[in-house]
């Protein structure tokens, strides 16, 4: 039986640990806080996923795993560099389960790993997945992206089950761009709904966001067709329509007139789109990203929702 290490005992890390156990693996789930790790290990319950018991194949600890067939990094994007640098050296492939762009460096997840773990095999797991549904074993699919086909096959064999279908993809750039951009676009979609602008407006925004996502993916060296897959369109649809999405719900609150500071003050979990928006726009440079740029300006207080919508609707007319 192969061992899996999952770094990060938030909702997504816990769900992935449960999924790996469901696939027949022994799992070590790492929590940063020792007291929290001990409480979860004893009660077999994680407050981040209320009511869901951890199966017996999962061991929860505050000690980073040193031996595993694969290590899943399910920590927020802005913590990825620090956590990856602390991992004990091993030959286990690293699977990034975070989505976003690193503030300051403007790096994508696998670019961060290439800097802090040079030479270590790595892939990215991304797609339209809410943690609770995966933890409960509801049907879901995800993309496992990396350039090494043998590694993709190996990781798929370790993690996939009948209810959790994994699709390989060699376009890691496109998969990472989709995962980062969808959080930003979900804030915009939520703001549209929160402001009462209607479903027509949300549908138009999601569709035009796909054009932005395609332009950026191609500009960074990815493929346009990846945008229409699970890591692009699939993740975008889920995050822009599902009330469980932290980014969508933040946008709804903004659309209702709440301030960003007030919204974040009530949250114990990270809303990735807040840090990703300005980093994504900066990484895009000359790529035309009007919706993502509007979200970055809105979050920074440089514009209002009314003004942002006015500016987007006033853009020059053109063929689709």
The pLDDT of residue 1 is above 80: no
Q: What is the DSSP string of the chain?
A: --EEEEE--SHHHHHHHHHHHHTT-EEEEE-SSHHHHHHHHHHSB-TTSTT-BPPTTEEEESSPPS--SEEEE-S-GGGHHHHHHHSPP-SPPEEE---S--TTT---HHHHHHHHSTT--EEEEESS--HHHHHTT--EEEEEE-S-HHHHHHHHHHH-BTTEEEEEES-HHHHHHHHHHHHHHHHHHHHHHHTT--HHHHHHHHHHHHHHHHHHHHHTT--GGGGGSIIIIIHHHHHHH-TT-HHHHHHHHHHTT--HHHHHHT-SS--HHHHHHHHHHHHHTTS--HHHHHHHHHHHTSS-HHHHHHHHHTSPP---
pLDDT tens digits, one per residue of 99-145: 999 999 999 999 999 999 999 999 999 999 999 999 999 999 999 99
268 pLDDT band, cuts 50/70/90, is confident
pLDDT at position 84 is 97
The pLDDT of residue 220 is above 90: yes
Active-site choice (48, 81, 182, 214):
182
Its pTM stands at 0.95
pLDDT tens digits, one per residue of 32-41: 999 999 999 9
Mean pLDDT, rounded, for 281-303:
96
Higher pLDDT, residue 202 or 243:
202
pLDDT at position 319 is 80
288 pLDDT band, cuts 50/70/90, is very high
- Residue 182 a catalytic site member: yes
User: What CATH architecture does domain 3-170 belong to?
Assistant: 3-Layer(aba) Sandwich (3.40)
Q: Does domain 180-313 have CATH number 1.10.1040.10?
A: yes
Mean pLDDT, rounded, for 245-256:
96
Mean pLDDT, rounded, for 157-183:
97
pLDDT tens digits, one per residue of 121-131: 999 999 999 99
318 pLDDT band, cuts 50/70/90, is confident
Q: What residue spans in the chain does CATH classification 3.40.50.720 cover?
A: 3-170
The pLDDT of residue 317 is above 90: no
Q: What residue spans in the chain does CATH classification 1.10.1040.10 cover?
A: 180-313
pLDDT at position 66 is 81
């Amino acid at each position: 039986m192969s061992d899996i290490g999952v770094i990060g005992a938030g909702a997504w890390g816990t769900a992935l640990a449960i999924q790996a156990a469901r696939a027949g693996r022994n799992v070590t789930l790492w929590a940063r806080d020792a007291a929290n790790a001990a409480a979860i290990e004893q009660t077999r319950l994680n407050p981040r996923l209320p009511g869901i018991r951890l199966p017996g194949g999962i061991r929860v600890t505050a000690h980073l795993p040193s031996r595993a067939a694969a290590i899943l990094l399910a920590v927020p994007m802005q913590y990825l560099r620090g956590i990856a640098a602390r991992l004990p050296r091993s030959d286990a492939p690293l699977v990034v389960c975070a989505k976003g762009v690193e503030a300051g460096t403007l790096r994508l997840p696998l670019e961060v790993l290439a800097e802090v773990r040079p030479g270590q095999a790595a892939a990215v797991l991304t797609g339209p997945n809410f943690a609770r549904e995966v933890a409960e074993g509801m049907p879901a699919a995800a993309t496992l992206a990396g350039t090494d086909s043998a590694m993709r096959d190996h990781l798929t064999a370790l993690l996939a089950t009948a209810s959790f279908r994994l699709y390989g993809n060699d376009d890691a750039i496109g998969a990472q761009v989709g995962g980062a951009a969808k959080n930003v676009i979900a804030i915009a979609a939520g703001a549209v709904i929160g402001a009462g602008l209607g479903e027509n407006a949300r549908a138009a925004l999601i569709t035009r966001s796909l054009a932005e996502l395609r332009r950026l993916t191609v500009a960074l060296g990815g493929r346009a067709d990846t945008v229409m897959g699970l890591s692009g369109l699939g993740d975008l649809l889920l995050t822009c329509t599902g009330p469980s999405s932290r980014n969508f719900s933040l946008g709804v609150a903004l659309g209702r007139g709440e301030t960003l500071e007030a919204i974040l003050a009530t949250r114990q979990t990270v809303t990735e789109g807040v840090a990703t928006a300005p980093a994504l726009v900066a990484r895009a440079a000359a790529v035309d990203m009007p919706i993502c740029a509007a979200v970055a300006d809105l979050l920074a207080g440089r514009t209002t929702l009314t003004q942002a919508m006015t500016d987007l609707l006033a853009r020059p007319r053109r063929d689709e």
